[in-house]
């Protein structure tokens, strides 16, 4: 994985300016989208994750300029994700994509695309080993945004921990 500093700075600027982050993926990429959502829910951002394609597509029609969508498709050619990307692009919504395919239509539709190419792409396999690369990249983005506004991030995490503490048994 090659992480370009200029691309990272552009990504962080788009994320920092967003009011809400949305995470979409299909199949195995949906698991990656959910993992990213689970991490970013612990930031200052309002976040959204939808599992079902029809709901993702319906929701995409309601988004506005303050929204940022992170699309996950290891193949870069998942029909459903391409359809969502086209709806978002038509509405002028910013898209950050995560894919293993540098020549995909998804890359063309995205404002910023992260290409996480692994050997398994050459064999047409699912993103078995690439999951670690996706997770590392998401962790880099999460940590960068968290430390960018450290006081607010600490307060958000404190409030989440306090809310979740009621679900833990007392020792």
CA distance 161 to 150: 16
Please compute the mean of the pLDDT values over residues 66-80 and round it to a whole number.
95
Task: For residue 11, name the pLDDT band (cuts at 50, 70, 90).
Answer: very high
Q: What pLDDT score was predicted for residue 9?
A: 94
Decide if 71 contacts 110 (C-beta within 8 A). Answer: yes
Q: What pLDDT score was predicted for residue 125?
A: 55
Which percentage of the chain shows pLDDT scores above 90?
A: 63
Q: What pLDDT score was predicted for residue 124?
A: 55
Backbone φ/ψ region at 60: left (φ over 0), alpha (ψ -120 to 50), beta? alpha
Instruction: Give the tens place of pLDDT for each residue, 23-60.
Output: 999 998 999 999 999 999 988 889 999 999 999 999 99
Work out the mean pLDDT of the chain and round it to a whole number. 88
Decide if 137 contacts 113 (C-beta within 8 A). Answer: no
Please compute the mean of the pLDDT values over residues 153-165 and round it to a whole number.
72
Given a cut of 60, whether residue 126 has pLDDT beyond it is: no
- Please report, for residues 39, 44, 75, 154, 160, the alpha-carbon distance to residue 148 in angstroms, rounded to integers and kept in the order given: 16, 11, 32, 11, 19
- Please report, for residues 40, 43, 110, 132, 156, the alpha-carbon distance to residue 159 in angstroms, rounded to integers and kept in the order given: 14, 11, 34, 29, 5
Task: For residue 166, name the pLDDT band (cuts at 50, 70, 90).
Answer: confident
Two tokens at 115?
A: 């290409």
Q: What is the dihedral of CA 93, 90, 49, 77, to 10 degrees?
A: -120
Sign of CA dihedral 130, 78, 57, 18: positive
Maximal CA-CA distance, the chain:
54
Given a cut of 60, whether residue 141 has pLDDT beyond it is: yes
Q: What pLDDT score was predicted for residue 140?
A: 93
Instruction: Give the tens place of pLDDT for each residue, 85-122.
Output: 999 999 999 999 999 889 999 999 999 999 987 766 55
Q: What pLDDT score was predicted for residue 128?
A: 63
């Amino acid at each position: 994985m090659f992480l370009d500093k200029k691309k990272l700075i552009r990504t962080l600027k788009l994320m920092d300016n967003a009011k809400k982050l949305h995470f979409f993926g299909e199949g195995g990429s949906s698991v990656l989208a959910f993992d990213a959502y689970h991490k970013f829910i612990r930031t200052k951002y309002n976040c959204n994750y939808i599992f079902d394609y029809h709901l993702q597509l319906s929701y995409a029609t309601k988004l506005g300029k303050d929204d940022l969508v992170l699309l996950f498709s290891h193949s870069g050619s998942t029909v459903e994700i391409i359809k969502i990307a086209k709806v978002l692009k038509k509405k002028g919504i910013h898209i950050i994509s995560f894919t293993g395919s540098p020549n995909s239509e998804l890359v063309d539709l995205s404002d910023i695309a992260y290409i996480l190419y692994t050997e398994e792409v050459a064999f047409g396999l699912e993103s078995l080993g690439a999951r670690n690369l996706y997770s590392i990249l998401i962790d880099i983005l999460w940590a960068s945004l968290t430390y960018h506004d450290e006081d607010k991030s600490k307060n958000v995490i404190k409030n989440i921990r306090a809310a979740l503490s009621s679900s833990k048994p007392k020792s």
